[in-house]
Amino acid sequence: MLFLHGAGERGSELDLAATHGPPKLADAGHEFPFVLVTPQCSASSQWVAELSTLSGLIDEVVATHRIDPTRVSVTGLSMGGYGTWSLAVRYPDRFAAIAPICGGMWLQSAAPLRRVPVWTFHGDADDVVPISATEQIVSELRSVGADVRFTRYAGVGHDSWTETYENPEVYDWLLSPRHGR
């Protein structure tokens, strides 16, 4: 599983990348049944500008570890949610499933994801990334017959990731054998 952090965790202090999500849980002692890859985006960049680099990282991890290339998934929050959407749109055949959280897309169509299972999450009170960003993507995916789930958190602001990443069902879904190609 590739995890993409948010904008607040950019920089050169690697501990920042574990502030939220699966890396935070792993640091607290939670054991996952998968390899968790947590790169850190530089302070002067954002994930959507690093798609080729992320693809190369996946290649390297798959080549140097016992990874089934048909079972790779990606998830991310906020800036990492944008990165998750964009990475999967650019490389849809690389991912068994994706779970973007409170992200969106810039000037892209979601149609390349029609065969990639998606479970996306967003708080309806998000004042940083409007929920409409996710709603538009979900609408497009449903119009092309994609396998998409959308969890809308009522009354939740930008932090829709804490509840998401604490839910074991999310990991079970990401690891589901039905996603293998």
Q: Is the pTM of this model over 0.85?
A: yes
Chain-centroid distance, C-alpha 147: 16
- Structurally, the chain folds into a number of domains equal to 1
Q: Outline where the chain has alpha helix (H).
A: 21-27, 51-64, 79-90, 131-143, 161-165, 168-175
Predicted confidence at residue 139, as pLDDT, reads 97
Q: Positive or negative CA dihedral for 60, 66, 70, 76?
A: negative
- Do 75 and 98 form a contact (C-beta atoms < 8 A)? yes
Rounded alpha-carbon distances, angstroms, from residue 121 to 40, 41, 56, 84:
22, 22, 27, 12
* 78 torsion bin: left (phi>0), alpha (psi -120 to 50), beta (else): left
Question: Which residue range(s) make up the domain with 101?
Answer: 2-179
The 10 Å Cβ neighbour count of residue 172 is 10
Predicted confidence at residue 176, as pLDDT, reads 87
Cα separation, 151 vs 149, whole angstroms: 7
Integer-rounded Cα Rg, in Å, for the chain is 15
- Do 122 and 101 form a contact (C-beta atoms < 8 A)? yes
What value, to the nearest 5°, has the Cα angle with vertex 120 and ends 117 and 159? 155
Predicted confidence at residue 178, as pLDDT, reads 60
Predicted confidence at residue 179, as pLDDT, reads 56
What value, to the nearest 5°, has the Cα angle with vertex 108 and ends 174 and 59? 50
pLDDT in tens, the chain (181 residues): 999 999 999 999 999 999 999 999 999 999 999 999 999 999 999 999 999 999 999 999 999 999 999 999 999 999 999 999 999 999 999 999 999 999 999 889 999 999 999 999 999 999 999 999 999 999 999 999 999 999 999 999 999 999 999 999 999 999 986 654 4
Predicted confidence at residue 133, as pLDDT, reads 97
The CATH number of the domain holding residue 108 is: 3.40.50.1820
Q: Bridge partners of 120? A: 150
